[in-house]
Structure 1
Amino acid sequence: MSLHDINTVWQHIQLEAKSLVEDEPVLASFYHSTLLRHKTFSSALSYILAEKLANTTMPAVTLRDIISEAFQAEPTMVSQAARDIIAVISRDPAVKHYSTPLLYLKGFHALQAYRIGHWLWQNQRQALAIFLQNEVSVKLGVDIHPAAKIGCGILLDHATGIVVGETAIIENDVSILQNVTLGGTGKECGDRHPKIREGVMIGAGAKILGNIEIGKGAKIGAGSVVLQAVKAHTSVAGVPARVVGKPNSAKPSLEMNQEFTQQIDEDEYNAYVATFLGTGI
């Protein structure tokens, strides 16, 4: 995303804030402090994150300095945040304003805080990264290890209870609903968490465990327990998860359709198990 695109998102947010002040004057000071007094998107984002995560031992002014340092060193984090806002407003019908994710949605806040923590982790400041991870977990109910690798255009919808392990990878344009776990299978060390490829949608309460790949454009049904790799453009559901069909679009994450409408026949399912999972049936 270019600087022009970031500025376009920011212009939308500023115009919305002015309109919202007119609609609800009692919130004028809130909109002023969070949005209207800031000249840039990155300034507003750093202020909001710092205010959300501050505590008595780590005041907001200190946190904001850390966040601003990260943004200056890695400007792509700001463009990723703008792309995440576009993802939210384009996929969540309950969100009508560009300003809503920035002001209110803890999935968005947790994701941007993760990006700060990941930058700290990559720059040998693991203690501060873990401190920030804990604050996000306690205050927002989202636990993302700072060593995980996450792309952009990400929607963490509702977000409560989402857990992402240390060696997990989430590529671009993925949608994840509440209470999803991308976890390991025990006490093993090393590369032990799922790899979620581009365009995947993961339904509420799904558990994906182990160093397995969820292929590009796959769909994981709500409440599923996934213990084996999932082929690209395949729908799985159940406990344990099994193939139930194919998504109707190349990127289910963009459609957010929770139904399974395109079924596969038994022969196709048997072939999938025998050739892709290598287990036979």
Structure 2
Amino acid sequence: MQTQSCACSDPLIKKLFSVSLCHLPDFPSALASLLTEKLADRVVPAEDMRPLIENILKENPELSYIAAIDLMAVQERDPACPDLPTAFLFFKGWQALQAYRIAHQLWVQKRTPLAYQFQSRMNECFSIDIHPAARLGKAITIDHGTGVVIGETAIIEDNVSLFQNITIGGTGRELGERHPILKEGAMVGSGAILLGRITIGRHAKIGAASVVLNNIPDYATAVGNPARVIRLSPPQNAEGETK
């Protein structure tokens, strides 16, 4: 990624590439610098924000690994992504996801007010609201991202694709585990609303603007308000053949 990043020749933007990528020793340092630039404010200024993020990444090296996996997933799934540096510097869905990962670690450490501060800044900067207690896997993509809301007890497994203006929320009537579970490989289209402790199955697809109030089985496609299953595709093996 560093080789790609240093190839920018536009004089108006070249400094951003240089400061954010080329002059930093490694990926965790670049990630800490980026998140500091985005999230620092008068409450937690840059001189406090950066060492906080650097220490969390140092103590939890898997976070940098997951961030890299998320980044590669963006390039793989998003046809508008020309290269990794572009996604790193400009794609707010990926950036918000990494801010959430720092906030989640603070939540695990029971630094609750600081975790909420990260959530608040994420919402202000990216218009994406992910509760720090939510549990998100790796290789997740949030395409465009504006208006995404993910509730406190939501569980999102690996390789899930989310689009803009979706709500993964509760019905407002229950306590405890009250938000949806999205299984591996699920995809949620723009404007969809998923409510309650429902399960979206492995590799299931939720159509744009659908309202989902019940479980959706593995490999199903569901659309509408309320959502109904219109297709149930059998799983395929590595060669693309139906099992």
- After superposition, give the CA deviation of every residue in 1:36-82 in whole Å (9 maximum; x if it has no partner): 11010000010001100111222122111111111111111100000
Percent identical among aligned pairs is: 43
CA RMSD of aligned residues (A): 1.4
Q: What residue number does 2:16 align with?
A: 30
Q: In the alignment, is residue 79 of structure 1 matched against residue 69 of structure 2?
A: no
- Of residues 178, 182, 189, the one that matches 1:203 is 189
Q: Which blocks of at least 5 consecutive residues in structure 1 are unaligned?
A: 1-12, 252-281
Please say if residues 220 and 236 of structure 1, whose CA atoms lie closer than 8 Å, have aligned partners that are also in contact: yes
Q: CA deviation at 1:246?
A: 2.9
The CA distance in 1 between the partners of 2:44 and 2:196, in whole Å, is 35
By how many angstroms is 1:97 displaced?
0.9
Q: Which of 32, 35, 49 is the aligned partner of 2:35?
A: 49
Q: Find 1:65's aligned residue among 35, 51, 62.
A: 51
Say whether 1:15 aligns with 2:3. yes
2:110 is paired with a residue of what secondary structure? coil
Q: Which amino acid aligns with 1:123?
A: Q
2:4 counterpart letter in structure 1: E
Q: Which runs of structure 2 are paired with 1:216-255 in the superposition (5 Å)?
A: 216-247=202-233
Q: Aligned pair 1:180/2:166, yes or no? A: yes
Match in the other structure for 2:141: 155
CA distance in 2, matches of 1:24, 1:172: 36
Letter in 2 for 1:85: L
TM superposition shift of 1:247: 4.7
**1:109 match:** 95
Query: Which structure would you say has the larger Rg?
Result: 1
Q: Residue 146 of structure 1 corresponds to which residue in structure 2?
A: 132
Deviates most, 67-76 or 194-203: 67-76
Letter in 2 for 1:237: V
Deviation at residue 250 of structure 1 after TM alignment = 5.5
For each residue in 1:93-146, what CA deviation from the matched residue of structure 2 results, as whole angstroms up to 9, or x when unmatched? Answer: 010111112101111111000000000000110110001100101111000000
Distance 2:142 2:236 in 1: 20
**8 A contact 1:233–1:250 mirrored in 2:** no
Deviations 1:191-235 (A, max 9, x none): 000000000010000000000111111000000000000011111
Q: What secondary structure is seen at the aligned counterpart in 2 of 1:56? A: coil
**Count of residue correspondences:** 237
**Counterpart for residue 166 of structure 1:** 152
Using a 3 Å threshold, how does the CA distance of structure 1 residues 59 and 81 change in structure 2: closer, same or farther?
same
Q: 1:163, 1:180 within 8 Å by CA — same for their partners in 2?
A: yes
Aligned residue among 50, 69, 78 for 1:92: 78
Following TM superposition, the consecutive aligned residue runs of length 4 or more in structure 1 with deviations greater than 4 angstroms are 247-251
Q: Residue type of the partner of 1:90?
A: E
Structure 1 residues 184 and 200: CA distance shift in structure 2, 3 A: same
- Output the TM-score relative to the length of structure 2: 0.94
Structure 2 regions of 5+ residues with no counterpart? 238-243
Q: CA deviation at 1:186?
A: 1.0
Counterpart CA distance in 1 for 2:205 and 2:98 is 25
Distance across 1 between alignment mates of 2:193 and 2:46? 34
Higher helix share: 1
Corresponding residue for residue 134 of structure 1: 120
Give the aligned residue type for 2:5. Answer: A
Letter in structure 1 aligned against 2:210: S
Rounded to whole Å, the distance in 2 between the matches of 1:45 and 1:29 is: 17
